[in-house]
């Protein structure tokens, strides 16, 4: 039976460490301060924004939330980003996704000053990620890398299948795993015979938002399974993986909740502190 990769515990352990870094900054008169721009009324986004706030407070980081109405124009959102970019008191900026239909989210992301890019999703930082020259990494991908490291799971030479090719999860994770010498396959909704790929994988990561996509018959005995998905089924929070059955076959598996999610939030906080430190050391 598979061992649980306890993302929540690892995130809380890292939070203790980060708190000390924040204390050190505070002794120099610096308080890490970032802003989340949330446009519209997506209920899940509001929950995530609250979770970030909770973790930020625990660590000693100041988080402002700019809650913009669902009918906010592109110009208004761009103006707010420009204002935060040029405010020296603000160390980090992020735009919560998804944004409403009238908003071009890619243009908003591209407007964020790469030196304040908490999510690591600006074109500049995405480029640096693929050139192995990165400073902040997208939090979910970095969280997964650090989770595997915590459990002494090496990526070198491993066959990894990542299901999902989004700019926020699948693609950055592929870059980071490739950098650690894994052989990476990225699957998506047009992939044929997905199980032929996953059956040969040492590590399967699912980031699709499709509950029960990954079943036990798709997994090699002793494989490692990382579940990024967040789905609500009959009022219950589940991932993409049929956890109860897959855990009998896997050597390690992440639960949902309590797996990748808390690490995502933790690594957003890590990014805020790193950016704050660099901005102050450069002055």
Ligand X SMILES: NC(=O)C1=CN([C@@H]2O[C@H](COP(=O)(O)OP(=O)(O)OC[C@H]3O[C@@H](n4cnc5c(N)ncnc54)[C@H](OP(=O)(O)O)[C@@H]3O)[C@@H](O)[C@H]2O)C=CC1
What is the rounded distance in angstroms from the CA atom of residue 91 to the CA atom of residue 143? 21
C-beta separation of 264 from 10 below 8 A = no
Q: If binding is defined by CB under 6 A, does position 229 make contact with ligand X? A: yes
Q: Is position 37 annotated in a ligand binding site? A: no
Could you say which of 45, 96, 208, 276 contacts ligand X (CB under 6 A)?
208
Q: What tokens does 102 get?
A: 């009238």
CB 160 within 8 A of CB 177: yes
Using rule CB under 6 A, residue 154 touches ligand X? no
Which CB atom, from 197 or from 250, has the smaller least distance to ligand GUE?
A: 250
* φ, ψ (nearest 5 deg) of residue 23: -60, -45
Q: To the nearest whole angstrom, how small is the minimum distance from the Cβ of residue 31 to ligand X?
A: 26
Strand order in the sheet with 33-39: 62-68, 33-39, 92-95
Q: How far is CA 150 from the centre of its chain?
A: 17
Q: Which part of the chain contacts ligand GUE (CB under 6 A), choosing from 46-54, 66-74, 195-203, 243-251?
A: 46-54
Alpha carbon distance 159, 25 (integer Å): 41
**Of 6, 115, 119, 227, which lies in the binding site for ligand GUE, with binding defined by CB under 6 A?**
119
Of 26 and 50, nearer to ligand GUE (C-beta) is 50
* Only segment of 13-21, 22-30, 241-249, 255-263 that touches ligand GUE (CB under 6 A): 255-263
Give the residue from 208, 212, 203, 257 showing the smallest Cα distance to 229. 208
Supply the minimum distance, in Å, between the C-beta of residue 259 and ligand GUE: 6
165 binds, among ligand GUE, ligand X, none (CB under 5 to 8 A by kind): ligand X
10 Å Cβ neighbour count for 76?
Answer: 13
Q: Find the shortest distance in angstroms from Cβ 194 to ligand GUE.
A: 23
- Angstrom distance (rounded) from CA 282 to CA 124: 19
The residue from 96, 171, 242, 249 that is catalytic is 96
Decide if 119 is catalytic.
yes
Q: What is the binding site for ligand GUE (CB under 6 A)?
A: 47-48, 51, 94-97, 119, 139, 230, 237, 256-258, 261-262, 264-265
Q: Which residue ranges are tagged as binding site? A: 164-166, 230
């Amino acid at each position: 039976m598979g061992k649980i990769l306890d993302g929540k515990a690892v995130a809380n352990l890292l939070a203790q460490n980060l708190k000390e870094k924040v204390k050190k900054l505070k002794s120099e008169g610096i308080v890490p301060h970032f802003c989340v721009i949330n446009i519209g009324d997506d209920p899940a986004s509001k929950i995530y924004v609250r979770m970030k706030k909770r973790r930020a407070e625990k660590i000693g980081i100041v988080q402002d939330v700019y809650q913009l109405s669902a009918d906010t124009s592109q110009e208004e959102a761009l103006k707010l980003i420009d204002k935060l970019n040029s405010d020296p008191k603000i160390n980090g900026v992020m735009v919560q996704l998804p944004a409403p239909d009238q908003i071009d989210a890619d243009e908003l992301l591209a407007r964020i000053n790469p030196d304040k890019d908490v999510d690591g999703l600006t074109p500049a930082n995405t480029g640096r990620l693929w050139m192995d020259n990165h400073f902040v990494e997208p939090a979910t991908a970095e969280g997964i890398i650090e989770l595997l490291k915590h459990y002494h799971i090496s990526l070198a030479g491993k066959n990894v299948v990542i299901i999902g090719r989004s700019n926020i999860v699948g693609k950055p994770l592929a870059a980071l795993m490739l950098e650690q010498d894994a052989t990476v396959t990225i699957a998506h909704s047009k992939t044929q015979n997905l199980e032929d790929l996953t059956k040969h994988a040492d590590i399967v990561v699912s980031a699709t938002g499709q509950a029960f996509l990954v079943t036990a018959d798709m997994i090699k005995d002793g494989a490692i399974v990382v579940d990024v998905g967040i789905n609500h089924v009959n009022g219950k929070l589940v991932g993409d993986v049929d956890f109860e059955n897959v855990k009998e076959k896997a050597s390690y598996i992440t639960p949902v909740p309590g797996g990748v999610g808390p690490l995502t939030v933790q690594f957003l906080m890590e990014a805020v502190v790193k950016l704050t430190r660099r901005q102050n050391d450069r002055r």
